[in-house]
Amino acid sequence: MINKLTLQSIISKYYLGENESVKWSTRDEVLSIDFQSTNKEVIGNVSYKGFPMEDGDLAIYNTKKLNNLIGITLGDVLLHAEKTNKVFTKLNISDENFNLSYALADLLLIGKIGTVSEPDWDVTLNFDVDENQLGNLIKAKSALAEIDNMVITTEKDLDGTDICKFTFGDESGHNNKIMYSMYGDINVQDLKLPFNSNMFKTILNANKDMESGTLYLSSKGLMKLEFTTGDISSEYFMVRKESTNF
């Protein structure tokens, strides 16, 4: 058995509104899901300890349809995968009232996920749950929802302390912009990296239930986001934008 809300949380952390086709791999009750955005801007993994299924690989071709089925259930749900010739072909989902079936795809239809070679990280920022830093970044982006520009810079505050500044909006001229600063482990000054703020916000929204979170930056143009929520761990690698108005 697994709680419906837990299952939906797992899905939301990899789906991000677009990642439909993925492989669910279970080994020793650990579920692991690798994913990649359609434009290859984001590569990541979501894992969950204590997944109540036997070892194997499930080809989920249409995540939105699966999530819709799960959405009508209540409370805890029972998951059972049916096999045909040792290949999983159907995922059965049931609660006290509903019995649902989701047709699994051929594993060959699931595209291969790229790999990331982690660089030495120049910036490390920890999200403070009490200060609601993650929520503040979401609000900053939401206030300029029509603009997908975000630039992250490293500089010093008025006291000479290293800070990491997030600027949303168009920095040129007198256009609207919002800046939000965070303190952390900053090893490189004058760093300036542009990212897609829409995808950044989507990732943060999917992890609003986090218990801990960390953001890493490399001057090579790569961002890494890590979150932990109970037995769920999520990891995202995001590449800088190729072009920007900043």
pLDDT per residue over 135-179, tens digit each? 999 999 999 988 899 999 999 999 999 999 999 987 665 678 999
* Phi, psi of 21, deg, nearest 5: -105, 115
What pLDDT, on the 0 to 100 scale, is given for residue 246? Answer: 47
Kindly list the structural domains of the chain, giving each domain's residue range(s) and its CATH number in brackets, ordered by start: 2-109 (3.10.150.10), 123-214 (no CATH)
pLDDT digits (tens, 9 = 90+) for 66-97: 999 999 999 999 999 999 988 999 999 999 99
Q: What is the pLDDT of residue 130?
A: 86
Classify 186 as helix, strand or coil. strand
Is a pLDDT exceeding 60 seen at residue 107? yes
* pLDDT tens per residue across span 19-42: 999 999 999 999 999 999 999 999
> In this predicted structure, what is the pLDDT of residue 175?
78
pLDDT at position 243 is 62
pLDDT at 244 over 60: no
E runs forming strands in 85-148: 87-94, 99-103, 123-127
* Mean pLDDT confidence for 15-19: 96
Determine the Cα–Cα distance for residues 176 and 156; give it in Å rounded to an integer. 23
Question: The dihedral of CA 56, 59, 63, 67: what is its sign?
Answer: negative
Residue 108, pLDDT > 80, answer: yes
What distance in Å separates the CA atoms of residue 22 and residue 33, rounded to the nearest whole number? 7
Q: What is the pLDDT of residue 173?
A: 58
Q: What is the mean pLDDT of residues 184-191?
A: 95
Give the residue from 164, 83, 92 showing the smallest Cα distance to 122. 164
Give the residue-averaged pLDDT of 118-135: 94
Instruction: Give 235's strand partners.
Output: 45, 226
Q: How high is the mean pLDDT of the chain?
A: 94
Over 90: is that where the pLDDT of 242 sits? no
Question: What is the pLDDT at residue 166?
Answer: 96
Lowest mean pLDDT among 3-12, 55-64, 128-137, 225-234: 128-137
